[in-house]
Amino acid sequence: MPSVRNWLDRFTNSRKIQLSEQQRQAVEMAAYSPILILTGGPGCGKTFTTHTIVSLWKAMGKSIALAAPTGRAAQGLNEMTGLEAKTIHRTLEFDPKTMGFKCDSENSLPHNAIIADEASMLDLFLAYSLVKAISVGSQLLLVGDIDQLPSVSPGQILADLINSGRVPVVRLTQVFRQAQHSAIITAAHQINLGQYPTIEPISDNPVSDCLWHGGGHQPEHGVQAICELITDLIPRLGFNPVTDVQVLCPMTRGLVGTRNLNTVLQQLINPPSPDKVEITRGGNLLPEGDRIIQLTNDYNREVFNGDLGIIQSIDTVEQEVAVQYGERTVIYDYADLIDILPPLTRRCSGGFLNLTIQVSVSYPYGFFATAL
């Protein structure tokens, strides 16, 4: 291992950075371990450790594949490493005709170093398919937070592998100084330790990135509080409610469920007008100018679960909807609109944008916190 340690010293010195002992251990183990799990809470350096491991593997001349369960997670992996990252389905070359993967035990992946990020979201089928397609002698790095929600499909792969004691694990626990300034990260670690989080009361001059809104104890108070945040405080703090807001809540039904809040917020953020075309599909109103989220992996259109777009135009004659995803415009037939949903409000599985409003409804102790 001296050669790896020497490389790591040169790497950190050239960038004037310092890794924790846990991070150095992870990088050194990743040099030769056939399989390794890197886990830890927010602010503990998983992202930079993964970036360093990728740099080491590149220096070792390895062929690297970067994958994640969702399109959004793959995009984050791409931005973090500078290398192409794909969903696990795309990495394994999912074939819609056969409903199977082209890469398997008979046709293994052409890479000898694979990283699967957001591994807490891996279900049994996807994890099995990935491992089966890795050739003998290759390395696998699983990165994820054991405290995050498990996959919505059967299996909690990351937690089970860690708890098995049969797989090498590096758990990052040191919260870095930059992250310590984030009240969101501090609150997350307090909750994991069973402590009641300390959150700043909401005001016009916040000093932290996590604010507490009392909001009352009834669901209608919650709806009112969120509406006031959207129309008043958030714009005054310099955020754009149309593009910068994500509301997370723990249920679908009820006044503070995703269905009702999506309808309420739609009327506030993108109200109807005579010159705006809108249609209804699957009980969801989809007007021009609305933000949407892709719910499934669509390989024909190359849009994937978690991708966010904006409805650009609706053609009622051709029955087509044009959605802008970054630089690309994707055309949907009306029949395929069941795969998209307004994402103003989502169930609690993570935020995507600059600001999230988290709704807790542990009655009678309901609270509404906004994280900037």
pLDDT tens column, 207-264: 888 888 776 678 888 888 888 888 888 888 888 887 777 787 777 788 888 888 888 8
Domain boundary assignment for the chain = 2-176, 183-290+342-371
Q: Is 135 helix (H, G, I), strand (E, B) or coil?
A: coil
72/74: higher pLDDT: 74
User: Percentage of residues in the chain with pLDDT exceeding 90?
Assistant: 36
22 confidence band (pLDDT: 50, 70, 90): very high
Instruction: Give the phi and the psi of residue 84 in degrees, each rounded to 5.
Output: -65, 130
Q: How far is CA 268 from CA 98, 262, 263, in A?
A: 44, 10, 9
Q: Which of 224, 204, 206, 205 is nearest to 214 (CA)?
A: 224
> So what's the pLDDT on residue 212?
82
Amino acid identity, position 6: N
Which one-letter amino acid corresponds to residue 178?
A: Q
Gap between the Cα atoms of 143 and 77, Å rounded:
11
Range name among 95-104, 222-231, 237-246, 325-334 with the lowest pLDDT average: 237-246
Which pLDDT score is estimated for 179? 60
Residues 6+ apart with CB under 8 A from 130: 67, 88, 91, 92, 114, 116, 122
* pLDDT score for 30: 96
Give the pLDDT band of residue 349 (cuts 50, 70, 90). Answer: very low
Identify the CATH class of 183-290+342-371. alpha beta
Compare 321 and 268 and report the one with higher pLDDT: 321
Q: Which residue has the higher pLDDT, 182 or 108?
A: 108
**Mean pLDDT, range 342-353, rounded to an integer:** 48
pLDDT beyond 70 at 92:
yes
Mean pLDDT of 56-73: 91
Give the integer Cα–Cα distance in Å for 79 and 188: 24
Q: What integer best gives the mean pLDDT of the chain? A: 83
Architecture of domain 2-176: 3-Layer(aba) Sandwich (3.40)
